[in-house]
Chains A and B, each alone.
Chain A
Amino acid sequence: MSKEDIGRIALGAPALQQVVLVSLPDCLPVKQWTRSEGRDSEAVAAHMGSLFGQAVDTARASAARGKALAVTIETEDAVLMIRPLGPDAAAGFVFDRSAPMGLVRMQARQLSGHLANIIPAPRESQDLSATPERQTRDLAPHVEGAAETIIAPARPSVVPTSTPARAGEAPKTSSAPRPRAVRLLEFFNRYAPDPHASTLRLSLRTGIGVEQLANPEALSEDQVEALAVAVRDILGQEQLGF
């Protein structure tokens, strides 16, 4: 992943000033992106350096205990958020203080989701739906409303769900292997643009009714195949790992 990749991801978040990717558990900076226009990027970077240091200390302590973490620090002119991207990496986001907190939280969550999706392949598994890396955003509800430093719970083990989770919803636990349709919908709902319309779009593309999509376990093999094609096409993926 290049600096340009991060920059492209940051396009939709005008209040975002800086992104720093760090490796875990050592918290070494791996990649950095700073918005250049309209600001002295070096000054921003320097100013954020000390703050980031404090946050990294917290992060390191937390990572050492095997915890996934989410840290929020507010200063007079900036909001710094650290979000886990999986067991190997975390991202620090620096936002303009003037941006509404709700928006900042949501964007940090979205951005970390997208970054998690494009960081180099994880060590454990290639299954996009089952790896903890891809469940980064599922941790988000635990830190909603955080204005100070908060440590999120340890990353979940592989979490089966029986219904398609909307982005931001924590999956439910069960011991049965999850059907492909469920995993497809989970993946889709996490990354689909226009989330409020995403189920309608899948329905229109596949001819599968909206009510049927609410019970993906019951879909036929042909329907699941149609679903996979629609998910792939809407997200512009050449192929899906499941």
Chain B
Amino acid sequence: MDKDIIVEHRSHLLGHGMNFVANIPTVFHCHHFNLFWDQTIDDALGHELSCRIRTAAAREVFHDILAGLVTSAGASTPEERLELARTVFAAFGQGALTLDVSAAGGAALGRPLHYSHTWLEKYGGWIRRNTPADALAAGFAAAATEVAFGLPRESVQAVEHSCVARRDRECTFELSVGDATSVAGPMGRLQVERAMTDPVQGLLEDQVAPIEAGLREFSRGMLGDDRGLIQAFGLFATQTPSTYYNRSGYDALRHVNRTAPQSAPVMKALLREAGHVCVFSTFGGVLLSPEWEAMVGPIRGEPDEILAGSLAIARALGFGHWCAGEFEPGQRLVLQTPGGYESAYYVSREGRATEPMCFVLQGAALAIMQLIERVPWAERPTLNQEFYNQLFRNGLPWQAEETQCVSRGDPMCEVVVSRREPGNGVL
């Protein structure tokens, strides 16, 4: 089975910056974001509940992707379907997964897996971890088993027993078949199209559009290597169905609102931080990469150049059709988009929000301002964790407010970044 099957099934909703595989919305994210997102849900719910929610989110959405792919690939036997699943997992940069399963369940083995591999690389030198890190792989293994043997959606349970992040030799999973749990409604291309608002026009469009087109072509071919990992731009990337992030994040937030409402603003701040670390590291890494230099030219560090580049990257990676509504270097940035992967999910699954709900977008807008204002591009810095900590240890000089949100019924999502007012805290 060739990884190119993923390339064939990748599609894009032009004018809305949405990516799909087999008509399920996906987005490219870096390991910094992935780890921080999961960690925030762990912090909010405790590992056990967090792990259950994240596993269920992965299982649901990977079932849909795999079911779509086995049909169009004509994979009819369980063996063919499991082989296809293994290929998809690696192509997405999620790692190498071996499935030893039957219609009654079984076992899975991962080595390496994106989450535990990158956790160990990023944090393993400083701290220890006592809980497994690969809920996404667990959910994937469950979905692959369901699809391979024609079992109902959300009927297979998966538990990770040993994990490389915990310094075990490999990651192992136990799969068992139970009753189907609550089956979530569909969350595919149709739902995304319905949730999007009319395209918006922004500044610098003549600069953004050609870069966006080039990057979209480039990212279409981005696939996991022999290890099943995508290592590029100074980080590890994955293509992940956005429902994994959205369902786990919004489910966790709902739980916090119910059980500890005083902590909800703290959780939202951490979800924003996930978006911030992602855009700072990933977009910054892309802007500093040889691939960027080959396609666009060497980075000079001019504000318009960094802004246009960031908007193009967001659109190509599947964040949304980000536009600059206003931009005054050093003072103010207004980021606008006709919805994004967060609002698409929220509108389809959660209904009408009473407040803005695009936390990744909020953190991302803040990070674009940081990239413009605070990175010494001429020095070509390495945007690693140390650089990040050094820059942000004492907080941020900017603040971001989502002033419009499609999830709340507004015609677009809009985030205004301005200088932090004295006395405004992190929340």
Contacts A196-B389, A210-B426; is A204 near B270 (CB within 8 Å)? Answer: yes
User: In the bound complex, what is the Cα–Cα distance between A214 and B126 (angstroms)?
Assistant: 25
Contacts of A205 in B (CB 8 A): 43
Q: Is the CB of A207 within 8 A of B125?
A: no
- In the complex the two chains form, is A207's CB within 8 Å of B392's CB? no
A102 CB contact (under 8 Å) in B266, B382, B384, B390: B390
Task: Select A13's contact among B39, B386, B426, beta carbons within 8 Å.
Answer: B386
Q: Which residues of B contact A100 (CB under 8 A)?
A: 379, 381
Contact of A196 with B390 in the complex, beta carbons under 8 Å = no
Q: Is B262 an interface residue (CB 8 A)?
A: yes
B218 within 8 A of A: no
Q: Which of B36, B122, B128, B385 contacts A237 (CB 8 A)?
A: B128
Interface residues of A in 2-24 (CB under 8 A from B): 8-14
B386 and A11: CB pair below 8 A? no
Q: Smallest Cβ distance from B135 to chain A, in angstroms? A: 17
Knowing A110-B386, A196-B393 are in contact, say whether A204-B40 is a contact too (CB < 8 A): yes
Nearest CB of chain A from residue B51's CB, rounded to whole Å:
14
0 or 1 for each of B29-47: is its CB under 8 Å from A? (1 = yes):
0000000100110011000
Q: Taking the complex as formed, is A193 at the interface, i.e. its CB lies under 8 A from any CB of chain B? A: yes
Chain A: which residue is nearest B388 at the CB level?
A196
Residues of B near A234 (CB, < 8 A) are: 127
Distance in angstroms between the alpha carbons of A166 and B121 in the assembled complex: 24
Interface centre among B386, B387, B394 (most CB of A within 10 A): B386
Tell me the count of chain B residues lying within 8 A, CB to CB, of chain A: 39
Q: Are A193 and B123 in contact (CB under 8 A)?
A: yes
Partner of B124, one of A8, A106, A195: A8
A187 at the B interface (CB under 8 A): no
Which residues from chain B contact A235 at a C-beta distance below 8 Å? 127-128
Q: Which of B43, B129, B267 has the most CB of A within 10 A?
A: B43
Contact B386–A200 (Cβ < 8 Å): no
* Chain A residues whose CB sits within 8 angstroms of the CB of B426 once the complex forms: 199-200, 210
Q: How far is the CB of B72 from chain A (nearest CB, A)?
A: 41
Q: Is B395 an interface residue (CB 8 A)?
A: yes
Q: Nearest Cβ distance between residue B369 and chain A, in whole angstroms? A: 16
Mark contacts of B363-393 with chain A using CB atoms, 8 A cut-off: 1 yes-contact digit, 0 otherwise. Answer: 0000000000000000101101111011011
Whether the pair B386, A106 counts as a contact (CB closer than 8 A) is yes
Q: Output the least CB separation between A1 and chain B (Å).
A: 13
A32 CB within 8 Å of chain B = no
In the complex, what residues of B have CB within 8 A of residue A238's CB?
130
A241 interface contact, C-beta 8 A: no
Complex Cα gap A9–B121 (Å): 10
> Is A97 an interface residue, CB under 8 A from the partner?
no
C-beta contact mask, A8-45 vs B, less than 8 Å → 1, else 0? Answer: 11111110000000000000000000000000000000
Shortest Cβ distance from residue A146 to the other chain B in the assembled complex, whole angstroms: 17
B93 to chain A, nearest CB (A): 21
Interface residue SS majority, chain B: helix
- Shortest A21–chain B CB gap in Å is 16
* CA of A14 to CA of B125, assembled, Å: 13
- State whether A107 and B386 are in contact (beta carbons under 8 Å apart), knowing that A114-B125, A203-B263, A210-B425 are contacts in the complex: yes
CA distance A210 to B36 in the complex (A): 19
> Which applies to chain A's interface (DSSP): helix, strand, loop or mixed?
helix
Please, which residues of chain B bring their CB within 8 A of the CB of A8? 124-125
Q: Is B269's beta carbon under 8 Å from chain A? A: yes
Instruction: Tell me, rounded to whole Å, the shortest Cβ–Cβ distance linking A24 to chain B.
Output: 24
- Whether B203 is near chain A, meaning CB under 8 Å from some CB there, is no
Q: Is B232 an interface residue (CB 8 A)?
A: no
> Which chain A residues lie closer than 8 Å to B393 at the CB level?
166, 195-196
Q: Are B392 and A204 in contact (CB under 8 A)?
A: no
Given known contacts A207-B262, A207-B263, A209-B262, is B273 in contact with A10 (CB within 8 Å)?
no
Shortest Cβ distance from B389 into chain A, in angstroms? 6
Which of A100, A203, A233 is the most central at the interface, judged by chain B CB atoms within 10 Å of its CB? A203
A148 contacts the other chain (CB 8 A) = no
Q: A200-B270, A201-B43 are in contact. Are A207 and B260 (CB under 8 A)?
A: yes
Neighbouring A residues of B263 by C-beta, 8 Å: 203-204, 207
Is A197 touching B273 in the complex (CB atoms < 8 A)? yes
A197 CB contact (under 8 Å) in B270, B381, B385: B270
B427 at the binding interface (Cβ < 8 Å):
yes
User: In the complex, which of the residues B121, B128, B394, B395 contacts A11, with contact meaning CB atoms closer than 8 Å?
Assistant: B121
Counting CB contacts under 8 A, is A236 at the interface?
yes
In the bound complex, residues from chain B placing their C-beta under 8 Å from that of A197 are: 36, 270, 273
The answer to whether A201 touches B270, judged by C-beta atoms less than 8 angstroms apart, is yes
Residues facing B in A97-126 (CB within 8 A) are 100, 102-103, 106-107, 110, 114
Q: Does B273 contact A200, Cβ atoms closer than 8 Å?
A: yes
**B267 cross-chain contacts in A, Cβ below 8 A:** 204
| Docked CA distance A8–B260 (Å) | 38
Chain A neighbourhood of B273, CB < 8 A: 196-197, 200
On whether the beta carbons of B125 and A9 are closer than 8 Å, the reply is yes
A214 → B minimal CB distance (Å): 10
Given contact pairs A193-B122, A196-B393, A207-B260, enumerate 7 new A-B contacts (beta carbons under 8 Å): A110-B386, A194-B389, A199-B426, A200-B266, A203-B266, A204-B270, A210-B266
Interchain residue pairs with CB less than 8 A apart (20): A9-B126, A11-B124, A11-B125, A14-B382, A100-B379, A110-B386, A166-B393, A193-B127, A196-B389, A196-B392, A196-B393, A196-B394, A197-B270, A197-B273, A201-B270, A204-B263, A204-B266, A207-B260, A210-B427, A234-B127
The 5 closest A-B pairs by CB, nearest first: A236-B128, A196-B392, A204-B43, A9-B125, A204-B266
Chain B residues with a Cβ under 8 A of chain A: 36, 39-40, 43-44, 121-130, 260, 262-263, 266-267, 269-270, 273, 379, 381-382, 384-387, 389-390, 392-395, 425-427
